[in-house]
Homo-oligomer: A and B are copies of this chain.
Amino acid sequence: MFSIDHQHKDSHARTGTLLTAHGSVSTPAFVAVATRATVKAVEPEAIRDAGLQIVISNTYHLHLRPGEDTIAKLGGLHTFSGWTGPTMTDSGGFQVFSLGAGKEHGVGKVASIFPDEGTPRTANHYRQGKSLVKLTEEGASFKSIIDGSNQFFSPESVIEIERKLGADIILVLDECTSPLHDYAYTKNAMERTHRWAQRSLNAFNASAGDEAYPNPDQILFGIVQGGAYEDLRKESARVIGGMPFGGFAIGGSLGKSKEEMHHVLDWTIPLLPNDKARHLLGIGEIEDIFAGVRRGVDTFDCAAATRIARNGTVFLKGQPRHRINLRNARFADDPRPIDETCDCFTCQHHSRAYLHHLCRAGEFSFYRLATIHNLRFLVRLMQQIRESITNDCLDELEKEWED
């Protein structure tokens, strides 16, 4: 399922091949976010054309709409969406967290970089909502954001939903914590996550080979929790890493700064089996990709690249944060493509001036064109990273990308 092709000599970075029932993924790789079975604003065929190898959809969103039974009836996610390549489903654990503790704390995976461009805030500043989730040992109760209906996720029900969705790689239900949760809370959540992981494995194994499901060759990934606490992360990596999962994801709170996130990876990854793929959930800024790759992460998913595109921000190497915003007046009559060295559809066909116009006019066609560029940019970045690992010049490449 996963094989290492080349181990970088100076770091934990490695190139590898992740084999799934719907094709292989050359790693390190970026996983495009297709929450509701489509990358926002881009149809699956253009995602393939942009060179994406794998997409990740969300169990929570697809359970609520259109429902896993509908998707199963139509042959599973691949047939349903027309994306025929490797596919993951996240478990919905993070969404449950977002509606619960994350909402109370007003915080995401890394406190200091939430919201995206924000500055560090105090705990009091974060408290801004009321939990919509009731967590018990059995699972998580919550209300549908679509119709207000009562919903319940257990480790077993999530496996069943993901069996019906039929992604190639599926993730267990976990209990996420926020960077503002204390040690005791984080430890309890981690321990529950470990018990849920075992229940998920049991349910997964019990349904193995059941031909009622669309994809008989699914791979189950465990998720390491433990917040930004060293002993908890290490314990979680040992416990989860010791279970017979097909691969591992690193989830939950990654601390209050990029430095803490690096520590979390440094503590976690050396304790995970070397011969299994490692996915870093919800992280995908350029500098974070380098930091993760260097520490042994194989795959990343992140909605930022597509979200910022819809707001006019596109990647361009060498600019501040490797970004420009096409809404800016200086692009109004700029005949050049976003990036003269880019081979994406958008750069091959359209000027900054035209994209600026579409963006200012709020035309939907802009969202697609900007998203395609940003995804292609990440595909090419990952390709460079793979080559630099193979050639043992990752340091040089990372230096080249410092901004």
- Chain A residues engaging chain B, CB cutoff 8 angstroms: 36-45, 65-66, 70, 73-75, 80-82, 332-333, 335, 345, 349-351, 353-354, 356-358, 360-361, 363-365, 367-369
Contacts and interface: CB of A to CB of B under 8 A. Distances in A.
A364 B367 contact: yes
Nearest to A45: B349
A70 B369 contact: no
B42 A349 contact: no
Contact of A353 (B36, B74, B361): B74
A41 B351 contact: no
A42 B368 CA distance: 9
Number of identical monomers bound together in the oligomeric complex = 2
Given A73-B333, A80-B353, A80-B354, A65 B360 contact: yes
Nearest to A66: B357
A350 B357 CA distance: 30
A225 to B, nearest CB: 30
A360 B38 contact: no
A294 B252 CA distance: 67
A354 B73 contact: no
Contacts of A357: 36-37, 65-66, 70, 80
A364 B358 CA distance: 15
A332 B66 contact: yes
Contacts of A70: 332-333, 353, 357
A363 B82 contact: no
A361 B335 CA distance: 36
Given A43-B365, A364-B41, A368-B43, A356 B66 contact: yes
Contact of A365 (B40, B66, B332, B333): B40
Contacts of A44: 349
Contact of A364 (B40, B81, B332): B40
